[in-house]
Amino acid sequence: MRQALEYCTDKASLIKSVYPLNSDADNQALVLNSFIPSVQWAYAGDANITIYPFDAAKGGALLDAAGWTMNTDLGYRFNAAGDELVLHFTTTNATFRQTWSAVWEKQMKNCGILIIRQMVPSSWWFGDTTGIKRRDFQLGAYAWVGQPDPGGQTLYACDQIPTVENGWTGQNIMGWCNQLASDNIKKANNTLIQADRKAAYTIVQQEFTKDVPSIPLFNRASYYAWAAGFTGLSIAPGDQDYYTWNMEKWAIAGKDTIVLGFTQEPSTLFPARC
């Protein structure tokens, strides 16, 4: 079932819906095949994991094999008991997510899956006693902030599944417990030898892409725009959060004030190094 959802998902079209001005090549570079981006040192490599290129026919075949057959009159799938294939999908009501999730809903319908979207306030989705924290959803989507070091132990280890018994601790909200992956995500995070870490991360990604506990969709893109005549800005890879590092060199001819605009409030104050 989860593999079928992967095949039925056209990630390139999802990206196009939210980044319509990007070239196809730029959008393709944003596609994720694993929970670790392909540009990171710990990525296992395309040849070492299971990749699910968009193939609605293949996804449909997997659903047929799972006992969910298409009712051509209604346009959705049903099992032998007459149950309709319906999945409740929860995410925040941010415009960005509403845009791509509407496209994804149509993609699932193309495969005969009825998606019921539930767009909720972020305060509920990310609350301490609601939403993700309590695993109160069937399907869910949210953004994750990546780091140069992939980490992942709290996300994918078997003992990190939030439950009533453990007081809802841990971040493995998928409830995924694959012992081989669990052992290796711990190994990857408990040694300083990079070769050993990469080998362990490769095993985790192999199991992850085989089991499909979640579907990594795409990297978010960051964009910058500045006024004509503005000079001195220098943005290097990895500096997206600290592009003010050389602000003493910023200048606009004939002006002594620079105004910065943001799509959201910065998580931290920018360091002023004048």
Q: What percent of the chain has pLDDT over 90?
A: 79
d(CA 156, CA 205): 10
Give pLDDT, residue 3: 98
Question: What is the domain partition of the chain in residue ranges?
Answer: 2-211, 222-274
pLDDT in tens, 247-268: 889 999 888 888 887 766 555 5
pLDDT(12) > 50: yes
The CATH classification of domain 2-211, taken from the options 3.10.105.10, 3.40.140.10, 3.40.630.30, 3.30.70.270: 3.10.105.10
What is the pLDDT averaged over residues 202-222? 95
Q: What are phi and psi of 238, to 5 degrees?
A: 90, -5
Q: What percent of the chain has pLDDT over 70?
A: 93
Do the Cβ atoms of 98 and 92 come closer than 8 Å?
A: no
Give pLDDT, residue 258: 82
What is the pLDDT averaged over residues 111-137? 95
pLDDT in tens, 42-100: 999 999 999 999 999 999 999 999 999 999 999 999 999 999 999 999 999 999 999 99
Neighbouring residues of 3: CB distance < 8 A, sequence distance ≥ 6: 52, 59, 62, 212
The region of weakest confidence among 106-110, 196-200, 233-237 is 233-237
Give pLDDT, residue 132: 95
pLDDT(274) > 50: no
Do the Cβ atoms of 114 and 86 come closer than 8 Å?
A: yes
List C-alpha distances in Å: 62 to 112, 131, 220.
Answer: 12, 30, 30
Do the Cβ atoms of 205 and 32 come closer than 8 Å?
A: no
Give pLDDT, residue 238: 54
Give pLDDT, residue 175: 96
Its pTM stands at 0.84
pLDDT(9) > 80: yes
